[in-house]
Amino acid sequence: MKRLSQTIIDYAERAIGERLIVRRFAPADTGGLFIPTARTIAPNRARKPKAEETDDEYGDRIARETGWLDVVINTAAVDRHDTIVDPRGVNLTHYLNNPVLQYQHGCDNAVGDRVMGKVKSFDLADDAIGARVVFDLEDAFAAELFRKYSQKWMRGFSIGFIPHGYAVDNLAGESVDAEGRPQQTNKEVLRYTAWDLVELSCVAVPSNPEALAA
């Protein structure tokens, strides 16, 4: 996995009790698709690494103790609804004031609208949006959910959003005919060009297959 360049071309900070950081990276800085790792954003160095720990082991231990994960929440990939939610069109203005992490978009009858945690930071690139999420480990269900993510029993995340603009893209592709011969195809895909992020959810199966915890 590529480690992000620390060259920040746009930095915004909002007061929501604690700092919530938004960093924007140019495509050249990210080396292509943004893939966060536990070391992408330095952990709190007030927690000192143990002498025998490697950097990776230190990062993983801090993640377990504090309940945070680095995740991809959206990319420019065609999702399972045959749409593209363009990362370049995101508006975080309102979400930054209430950066909650939910479970299954609040649609699970047993869990309801209980908050699982919150988003602590965003990394924005032209082809993807990454985030650091922190689970509320004092909530038993959220702690169990974090355990499942930590042990990779589940990895998916999904965004709830309000669209404000769209375009229709004609994507070339390839399929096979009834006799198994390859053939060229064209597919119309709806691309949301401007949208407000409303909420972020832990899900078992994300609409965007690339929206996964690291």
Give the amino acid at 214: A
Per residue in 4-13, pLDDT (tens digit) is 322 222 222 3
pLDDT band, very low/low/confident/very high, at 186 (cuts 50, 70, 90): confident
Average pLDDT over all residues of the chain: 77
pLDDT for position 56: 66
Per-domain residue ranges of the chain: 10-202
**Alpha carbon separation from 5 to 1, 2, 29, 71, 103 (Å, rounded):** 13, 9, 5, 17, 32
Mean pLDDT of all residues in 37-60: 54
Q: Which of 172, 160, 23, 33 is nearest to 85 (CA)?
A: 160
Token pair, residue 35, equals 């893939």
Q: Residue 36 pLDDT more than 90? A: no
Mean pLDDT of all residues in 134-150: 92
158/47: higher pLDDT: 158
Judge whether 149 and 95 are in contact, CB under 8 Å. no
DSSP annotation string for 108-156:
-TTTTT---EEEEEEEEETTEEEEEEEE-TTSHHHHHHHHHHHTTS--B
Token pair, residue 53, equals 């720990």
Judge whether 73 and 101 are in contact, CB under 8 Å. no
> Which of 11-15, 105-109, 172-176, 210-214 has the highest average model confidence (pLDDT)?
210-214
Token pair, residue 127, equals 């082809």
Query: How many percent of the chain have pLDDT more than 90?
Result: 52
pLDDT for position 135: 95
Q: What is the number of other CB atoms lying within 10 angstroms of the CB of residue 150?
A: 15
pLDDT for position 102: 94
Per residue in 61-98, pLDDT (tens digit) is 666 777 888 999 999 999 999 999 999 999 999 999 99
pLDDT for position 187: 82
pLDDT for position 174: 66
Place of tokens 């355990």: 147
